[in-house]
Amino acid sequence: MSENTDAPPPLPHPLTVSTTAWLLLAAVILPGAFLISENTPWHRTDDHVNTWLLRQLAELRTPWLTDVATGIKAAGTGWGVAVGLSVVVLTMVFRRWSAAGC
């Protein structure tokens, strides 16, 4: 059994030297990694490989599959998104109310 006390909840642990060092290290290394990766000779090679791969995939494309993808795109824009989100929100609201009434 636990006793019910009016004591405030425990506060978070204070930051230590090692926590601060890790945070500073992450703050320096992460932006540095992004800056270095943008200016490498591998960047151009990666673009060539990606272009080749996309061209290979484009050759496999069929007209009927393109029509299906266009239909999916049309359903996912404009009113389709509004209707879909409305259905999700209404489902959440009515499920919550029905569960609370039990």
Mean pLDDT, consecutive 10-residue stretches, the chain (102 aa), reads 72 82 93 80 81 91 89 83 88 73 54
Phi-psi region of 8 (alpha: psi -120 to 50; beta: other; left: phi over 0): beta
Would you state the pLDDT for residue 54?
Answer: 93
Would you state the pLDDT for residue 21?
Answer: 92
